[in-house]
Amino acid sequence: MNIREQMIDMGKQAKDAARELAKASGKAKQDALIFLAEMLESEAETIAAANKLDLDAAAERGLDKARVQRLTISEKVLNSMIQGCREVAAMADPVGEIESMVKRPNGMLVGRMRVPLGVVAMIYESRPNATVDAGILCLKAGNAVILRGGSEAFHSNKCLAELMHKALEKAGLPKGAVQVPPTTDREAVSEMLKLADYIDVVIPRGGEGLIRAVTEQATMPVLKHYKGVCHIFADASCDITKAVLIIENAKMQYPSGCNALECLLVHKDVASVLLPKVADTLGAKGVKFKACDRSLPLMGEYAEAASPLDWGFEFLDLVMAVKVVDSLDEAMDFIAEHGSNHTESILSENYEHCMRFIREVDASLVVSNATTRFNDGGQLGLGAEIGISTSKLHAYGPMGIKELTSAKFVLLGEGQIRE
């Protein structure tokens, strides 16, 4: 069987499994997730051994620090996957829920029922934890999923998929509901993206190059975000102490995350106080700054002059652009020009400014007085996420269970006819 035939076969299995999942009981899906959580705990050593094969290969290939960090299944990452299984298992099942039932003048009832999307394909780099996150969310929402991770995570993903198959079968659900292509050949991706007859939506998750390549080739709808160029605007009334802590967390807690801070905008009235503190605190911990003409003299040895290319750039590293602005409006204009609709935050004690920022800034998450790092499905109460959509259709922001369903109209009549 060649790769094309292999992918068509996977598509057929997924479509058949999706029909079974759509009518599966909430309890069966919940049981599968609980079984998976238990297996992730009991098979921790097996998972670590598979992950080590990938990490050793990554070291030989000289993968960059950011990708190695994403590839690693640490104890913390494994515990997060286990917790995600249990949180998603405990959530209400959206499938079959009827929303907004209204009675029409002729007596018929019209509403909308939550239904699965069908078959989801996910294409992603590194991040083997995304294999579990995507699998459990799709399962809870009644979708089958084909998971094509990067070749650098092949052994980890294969191991996790096998555990998911065992959990599905133990719960009486089809193992075709979660599939991982058994090859690292890139042709598998190209063939998958031709399967519009079997796959309802594709979700790419990774670098901008991957997402653009998927978007160009896909014959089915794509839910995507190209990059995470996240800003924090420190307003004139910001609390300086809180601001330094938030900026440090947004930049340093996980620098390679798509919700990490990439550009700090500072109001001119607080620049002389805030920026030296930011430079001293973050610079001593390894952060380098790309500073505008007005901020450069305030940031000492850790800064160098910014170039126009530094605005709107996703560093994914301990590098941060810094710009002094004259007003809230200038900050919002700058974000409109250079942002990526991902995450934007304002630090301000001025309620009116916070509300303007929240209303007027266009991003999948807009934050007041907190870190950008909260744009994450788990942090926002979704249990986990399959990705963060910045394309607005049909979801905007982290995609959890509800975002992996759609709504069909239902009509309950008593013999009405149209006149």
Largest CA distance in the chain: 79
> What average pLDDT does this structure show over 233-243?
98
> pLDDT tens-digit profile of 342-385?
999 999 999 999 999 999 999 999 999 999 999 998 899 887 78
pLDDT for residue 181 is more than 90: yes
Domains, the chain, with CATH or none: 3-96+117-223 (3.40.605.10), 230-374 (3.40.309.10)
> pLDDT tens-digit profile of 108-154?
999 999 999 999 999 998 789 999 999 999 999 999 999 999 999 99
**Helix extents (H) in 171-316:** 187-192, 208-217, 240-252, 268-283
Percentage of the chain modeled with pLDDT above 70: 100
Q: Which of 259, 260, 263 lies closest to 375, judged by CA?
A: 259
Q: Read off the pTM.
A: 0.87
Q: Among all chains, which residue has been given the structure tokens 């133990």?
A: 170
**Residue 70's pLDDT band (cuts 50, 70, 90):** confident
Q: What is the pLDDT of residue 67?
A: 83
Buried b vs exposed e over 118-153: b needs ≥16 C-beta within 10 Å?
bbbbbbbbbbbbbbbbbbbbbbbbbbbbbbbbbebb
Mean confidence (pLDDT) of the chain: 95
